[in-house]
């Protein structure tokens, strides 16, 4: 049974803001169906009463004083920006 259809590809691609063509969707559907199938085996493991592991180490919040410090300057940070003006990043009209 196909679990990952072409329509699914378009559906999830929209969430991820990735444009896909019809041909790509066809290809990804097959590959993603394989990946979902690859994970089927997980369902055979009894995980009742098992806590999910969200992180490899037990970490605790460590707080520090909020002390002002040197940060990168705006000129430097704008170097990788495609389009900017007066210290602000430009994008096309959104309305």
Partner 1 sequence: MTLLKKTVAELQTLLHNQEVSVKELTEATFARIAKVDGDVQAFLTTTEEEAFAKAEQLDNQPNAERGPLFGLPIGIKDNIVTKGIVTTCGSKMLENFVPVYDATVVEKVNDAGMVTVGKLNMDEFAMGSTTERSAFKQTHNPWNLAHVPGGSSGGPAAAVAAGEVLFSLGTDTGGSVRQPAAFCGVVGMKPTYGRVSRSGLVAYGSSLDQIGPITRNVEDNALLLSAIAGVDRRDSSSSSLAVPDFGAALTGDVKNLKIAVPKEYLGEGVAKEVKDAVIEALKVLESLGAKWEEVSLPHLKYASPAYYVIATGEASSNLARFDGIRYGYRPVDAKNLEEIYLRSRSEGFGEEVKKRILYGTYALSADHYDDLYVKAMKIRTLIAQDFAKVFENYDVVIGPSSATPAYKIGHLLNNPLTLYANDVLTVPVNLAGLPAISVPCGFTEGLPIGMQIIGKHFDESMLYKIAHAFEQATDFHTSTPTIGEGN
Tokens of 77: 């940070």
Buried-exposed string 41-78: b where 16+ CB fall within 10 A, e elsewhere: eeeeeeeeeeeeeeeeeeeeeeeeeeeeeeeeeeeeee
* Contact by Cβ (8 Å): 85, 91: no
50 binds partner 1 (CB under 8 A): yes
79 binds partner 1 (CB under 8 A): yes
Beta bridge partners of 40: none
67 binds partner 1 (CB under 8 A): no
Choice from 2, 66, 88, 93 touching partner 1 (CB under 8 A): 93
Number of residues binding to partner 1, judged by CB under 8 A? 48
Binding-site ranges for partner 1 (CB under 8 A): 4, 8-9, 12-13, 15-20, 28, 31-32, 34-36, 38-39, 41-43, 45, 47, 50-57, 59, 62, 64, 72, 76-77, 79-83, 89, 91-94
């Amino acid at each position: 049974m196909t679990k990952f259809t072409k329509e699914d590809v378009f559906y999830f691609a929209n969430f991820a803001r990735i444009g896909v063509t019809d041909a790509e969707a066809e290809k990804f559907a097959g590959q993603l169906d394989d990946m979902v199938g690859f994970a089927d085996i997980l369902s055979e493991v009894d995980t009742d009463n098992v806590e999910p592991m969200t992180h490899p180490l037990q970490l605790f919040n460590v707080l520090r004083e909020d002390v002002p410090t040197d940060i990168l300057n705006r000129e430097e940070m704008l170097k990788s920006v495609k389009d900017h003006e007066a210290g602000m990043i430009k994008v096309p009209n959104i309305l």
